[in-house]
């Protein structure tokens, strides 16, 4: 009686075939997964820039609404801007306190009276442009200020998914009129 040994295993052709199938699957799935990850990062950066831009805008509108008077000094005008536009605005509250709003080195600052300026945007967001325009009536019955705000992510990476820009144009009117 002869014993027959059944030795199980894969042949070289089966092994090569399985490796080829796995390689083809990985080549299809890895770029797809990578693009999903990059899309998530891009979306996150865009949401952060948008929310910071909205926060800055709402803060500026609140300060303008609660002011008693608007002052855009002639010395503040930029020669490259429109006749009644400036990069800095001075507001006077109903109690007489002055509030100066400007942008310096990508940071929007609010200075109340003799206190030092306070930054209102996050460090990972740079304000590239802030322009105020006085739309007040000539008889000063309505005092209205418009502003153009442009922000960008301040991530130093040159990769496209870490970059986002938002431009916003809005206005606000003083409530005390």
Look up residue 140 and give its DSSP letter.
S
Which residues are paired to 108 by β-bridges?
103
Which residues are CB-neighbours of 131 under 8 A, at least 6 positions away? 81, 85, 86, 87, 147, 148
d(C-alpha 70, C-alpha 64), whole Å:
8
Distance CA 119, CA 14 (A): 66
pLDDT tens track of the chain, all 177 residues?
Answer: 666 666 666 788 888 999 999 999 999 999 989 888 888 888 888 999 999 999 999 999 999 998 888 887 544 444 444 555 678 888 888 888 999 998 888 899 999 989 999 999 888 889 998 988 888 888 878 888 889 999 998 877 777 777 888 999 998 888 865
The answer to whether the CB of 116 falls within 8 A of the CB of 135 is: no
Q: What is the pTM of this model?
A: 0.75
């Amino acid at each position: 009686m002869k014993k027959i040994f059944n030795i199980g295993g894969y042949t070289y052709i089966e092994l090569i075939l399985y490796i080829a199938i796995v390689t083809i699957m990985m080549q299809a799935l890895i770029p797809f997964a990578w693009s999903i990850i990059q899309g998530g990062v891009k979306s996150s950066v865009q949401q952060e820039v948008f929310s910071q831009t909205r926060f800055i805008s709402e803060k500026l509108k609140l300060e303008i609404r609660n002011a008693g008077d608007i002052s855009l000094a002639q010395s503040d005008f930029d020669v490259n801007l429109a006749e009644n536009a400036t990069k800095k605005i001075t507001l006077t509250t109903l109690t007489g306190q002055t509030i100066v709003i400007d942008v310096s080195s990508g940071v929007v600052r609010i200075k109340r009276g003799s206190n030092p300026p306070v930054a209102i945007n996050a460090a990972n967001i740079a304000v590239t442009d802030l322009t105020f325009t006085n739309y007040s009536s000539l008889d000063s019955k309505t005092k209205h200020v418009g502003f153009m705000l442009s922000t960008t992510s301040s991530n130093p990476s040159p990769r496209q998914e870490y970059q986002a820009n938002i431009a916003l144009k809005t206005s606000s009117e003083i409530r005390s009129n």
